[in-house]
Structures are given as structure tokens and as C-alpha cells.
């Protein structure tokens, strides 16, 4: 898009007329190109907000534009505040930081890449006594009016139970020890893939975002995030075609699979989907998902998995923790 075209779009959108919506819609239909010109704006604050409002106003009269192609509003840093801790499924045992690896499965040409192993599931994450005094946060609350009331019971403290249920005496933590149980998308033993370290992740350009974080329980907070774009990561580790075509989905898990989430590839490529390493100017804490979590402001909080241990491409719609408990798989805002 030329500067002239871009200015025209900006002017039109600013007027927020029906015509501006159409222009924005056409730009949105251009997909990645649309993101690129928005991204070229030094200040991301104003314009996406206008587009977002336009989109919301017109959503009912148009099906040609989807939330996945619109940037969510960004805010001045002064609006950002420390995010409460909410939901600690898969986080109750503290991960030994040196044992963290990112398992990546289904990558094109993975055999020849550094970090390739014949069985990613054989990687042993290790846990240790909690060293942090961090507030363990709020359990997901029960909304008595919700259809799913009763399903949002407090998170059980599973660490002791997990240790005791190690029937095979492998010394490894059993999977699926939280409320929703084991994921249907758990990898089979013997699944090859990559084991990446944090150095492999932070080599991509660093991005910061100040966005609104929305939990389905009805609260939201403006938060300052820093990390890398999931899109950049996925571009460097592209999916291997399945049946001659690009797979549709991305699946993520905490180490040992107690919390898990599924996404369509399009949402993962959204330029505001970040693999986050820092929040509010400091490294992620244990209960906010150290060392790596997802921020995906086009989705509700429950899709924003903390402590990522696995990223996997798949053509089967992946299982999702809160979908198992009755919530919408897409969780779009």
C-alpha cells in the first residue's frame, strides 16, 4: 500500500462513516498486507481503536470482516496495571527453570534442525519446592447465573496428589491432573519434534504491547506485555504440510499437559499474538506463566496459556481446557 492510499484509508476511517467501514473492510480482506500498514504506524494507539469501533458498529451488517483480521486497541503505558493472578492450572508445582524446553511438533524439515529429537515426549520437566512467595491468586470464580455454573470450581491443589498417583514410579508427573482431566490431543509417545531453549525464542525481534486483557468472568485490565510475535516464530518454524496442505490448527500445552489450548493458525499469525516473556517491565513470574506465556488480545483470557511447554501443528481441531468444561472453543472477543 502506498502512502497515499494509506492516508486515504486513515482519513476515511477517521470519519467513521459507512464508507470508511467499507474501505477498512477491503483492507482487512487483504489480510497480512493490512496488518503491515497498520504496523508501519509508529503509534499503534489511535487508529486500530477507530477501526475496532467501526468494526463493532458494523459487525451485524457485514460478515465480510472477521475479528481475526482487526487489531485490538492499544493504550498508553500509563494505563497499564499489574495483572491479577487468575487460574493456576498446570502451575501449582514450580518448574525447575533449567528443565524448561519448548517442544515444537510438526515443523517443516524438523529432522535437519537444531534441537531435533526422535521423541519430544521423552523430555523430562523437573519440579521443585516453591521458592516464590507470589500471591497464588484467585481461583476461577463460580458465576451462579452462568449456564456452566458449578463447572468453574476452584482449582484443586494437585501437586501432592500428582506425586502419589505416580503408579508407574517413573518419577514423572502424571498428565491431566487438573479439573478438566487429560487432553484428547496429548502427543503419542515417540512423537518427533524440536526441543528449543529460551535462546531460540528470544532471537526474534522484541515487541511490546499495551492491551486490554479480558477474562470471561467479566473483569478486564490494561497490561503491558513484551515478547516476540508468535507469527515470527511460526514463520521461522513453519508447519509441515499435512496431506499436501498447510495444517489448520495450533495446539499448546503446559509442561506435562495439565492446561492446554487450541487455536486456528490465523489467530496465531495475528500481529498482536505474542509469546510473552515479560509483563509490566519485569520477567514473568511463576503464576503469570514463566518462562513463556501467550498473549492473544483477540481472545478471552482462558486462551492465553501460561507456562507454554508445547506448540504443535495439527489438522485435527485441538482439545482445549475450558472447552472441555463447556466454554466456546474460539473464545473470540
The residue among 54 and 304 lying less far from ligand MTE, judged by its C-beta, is 304
306 binds ligand MTE (CB under 6 A): yes
Residues 190 to 219 in contact with Mo ion, rule: CB under 5 A: 215
Q: Per CB under 5 A, does 302 bind Mo ion?
A: yes
Query: Whole-angstrom Cα distance, residue 218 to residue 215?
Result: 6
Q: How far is the CB of 98 from ligand MTE (least distance, A)?
A: 20
Residue numbers 91-110 binding ligand MTE by CB under 6 A? 91
Q: Which does 88 bind (CB under 5 to 8 A by kind): Mo ion, ligand MTE, none?
A: ligand MTE
Q: Which is nearer to Mo ion, 90 or 247 (CB)?
A: 90
Alpha helices in 102-229 (DSSP H): 159-164, 198-202
Would you call the peptide bond into 170 cis, given omega within 30 degrees of 0 as the criterion?
no
Q: How many angstroms separate the Cα of 158 from the Cα of each of 89, 138, 152, 239?
A: 9, 16, 16, 34
Whole-number minimum distance, CB 158 to ligand MTE, in Å?
12
CA distance 50 to 81: 23
| Closer residue to Mo ion, CB minimum distance, 215 or 305 | 215
Q: How far is CA 178 from CA 32, 90, 324, in A?
A: 38, 7, 12
The footprint of ligand MTE on residues 3-42 (CB under 6 A) is none
Measured CA distances, 270 to 18, 232, 282, 298 (Å): 25, 10, 24, 9
Q: Which one of 42-50, 181-189, 195-203, 296-304 is the stretch in contact with ligand MTE (CB under 6 A)?
A: 296-304
User: In whole angstroms, how close is the CB of 38 to ligand MTE at the nearest point?
Assistant: 26
Q: Which one, 17 or 220, has the nearer CB to Mo ion?
A: 220
Q: Which secondary-structure segment (H or E) carries 276?
A: strand 274-279
Q: How far is the CB of 83 from Mo ion (least distance, A)?
A: 11
Q: Which is nearer to ligand MTE, 23 or 279 (CB)?
A: 279
Instruction: Please report how many Cα atoms fall inside a 13 Å half-sphere around the Cα of residue 182, on the Cβ side.
Output: 10
Residue 304 binds ligand MTE (CB under 6 A): yes
Note whether 84 binds ligand MTE by CB under 6 A.
yes
Q: Does 255 bind ligand MTE (CB under 6 A)?
A: no
Which cell numbers in the block locate residue 263? 487455536
Nearest approach, Cβ of 127 to Mo ion (angstroms)?
A: 24
d(CA 203, CA 236): 11
> Least distance in Å: CB of 230 to ligand MTE?
15
By beta-carbon proximity to ligand MTE, the closer residue of 104 and 152 is 152
**Residue 86 within binding range of ligand MTE, rule CB under 6 A:** yes
User: How far is 24 from 39, CA to CA, in rounded Å?
Assistant: 15
Phi, psi of 113 (to 5 degrees): -95, 155
**Nearer of residues 90 and 301 to Mo ion, judged by Cβ:** 301
Instruction: Quote the least distance from Cβ 83 to ligand MTE, whole Å.
Output: 4
Alpha-carbon distance of 23 to 150, in angstroms, equals: 45
User: In sequence order, which residues have a C-beta less than 8 Å from that of residue 331 and are 6 or more positions away?
Assistant: 216, 299, 300, 302, 303, 322
Q: Which of 100, 97, 91, 95 is nearest to 123 (CA)?
A: 100
Among 88, 191, 211, 277, binds ligand MTE (CB under 6 A): 88
Strand pairing partners for 211? Answer: 74, 223
Q: Whole-number minimum distance, CB 219 to Mo ion, in Å?
A: 9
Q: Is 83 in the site for ligand MTE (CB under 6 A)?
A: yes
Judged by the rule CB under 5 A, the positions of this chain that interact with Mo ion are 215, 301-302
**Interface positions with ligand MTE (CB under 6 A):** 83-91, 137, 140, 215, 254, 259, 288, 301-302, 304-307
Amino acid at each position: 500500500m502506498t502512502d497515499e492510499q494509506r492516508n486515504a484509508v486513515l482519513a476515511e476511517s477517521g470519519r467513521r462513516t459507512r464508507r470508511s467501514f467499507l474501505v477498512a473492510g477491503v483492507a482487512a480482506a487483504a489480510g497480512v498486507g493490512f496488518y503491515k500498514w497498520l504496523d508501519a504506524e509508529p503509534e499503534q494507539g489511535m487508529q486500530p481503536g477507530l477501526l475496532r469501533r467501526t468494526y463493532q458498529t458494523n459487525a451485524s451488517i457485514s460478515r465480510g470482516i472477521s475479528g481475526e483480521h482487526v487489531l485490538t486497541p492499544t493504550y498508553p503505558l500509563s494505563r497499564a496495571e499489574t495483572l491479577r493472578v487468575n487460574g493456576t492450572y498446570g502451575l501449582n508445582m514450580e518448574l525447575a527453570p533449567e528443565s524448561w524446553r519448548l517442544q515444537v511438533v510438526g515443523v517443516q524439515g524438523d529432522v535437519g534442525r537444531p534441537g531435533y529429537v526422535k521423541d519430544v515426549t521423552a523430555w523430562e520437566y523437573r519440579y521443585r519446592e516453591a521458592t516464590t512467595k507470589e500471591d497464588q491468586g484467585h481461583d476461577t470464580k463460580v458465576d451462579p447465573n452462568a449456564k456452566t455454573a458449578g463447572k468453574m470450581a476452584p482449582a484443586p491443589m494437585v501437586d501432592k496428589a500428582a506425586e502419589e498417583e505416580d503408579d508407574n514410579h517413573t518419577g514423572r508427573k502424571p498428565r491431566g491432573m487438573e479439573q478438566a482431566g487429560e487432553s484428547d490431543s496429548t502427543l503419542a509417545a515417540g512423537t518427533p519434534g524440536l526441543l528449543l531453549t529460551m535462546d531460540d525464542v528470544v532471537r526474534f525481534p522484541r515487541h511490546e504491547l499495551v492491551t486490554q486483557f479480558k477474562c470471561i468472568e467479566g473483569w478486564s485490565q490494561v497490561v503491558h506485555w513484551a515478547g516476540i510475535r508468535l507469527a515470527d516464530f511460526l514463520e521461522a518454524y513453519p508447519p509441515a504440510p499435512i496431506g499436501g496442505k498447510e495444517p489448520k490448527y495450533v495446539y499448546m500445552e503446559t509442561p506435562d499437559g495439565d492446561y492446554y489450548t487450541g487455536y486456528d493458525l490465523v489467530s496465531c499469525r495475528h500481529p498482536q499474538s505474542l509469546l510473552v516473556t515479560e509483563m509490566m517491565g519485569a520477567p514473568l513470574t511463576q503464576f503469570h506463566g514463566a518462562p513463556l506465556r501467550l498473549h492473544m488480545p483477540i481472545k478471552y483470557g482462558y486462551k492465553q496459556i501460561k507456562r507454554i511447554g508445547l506448540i504443535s501443528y495439527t489438522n485435527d481441531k485441538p482439545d482445549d481446557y475450558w472447552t472441555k468444561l463447556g466454554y466456546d472453543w474460539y473464545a473470540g472477543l
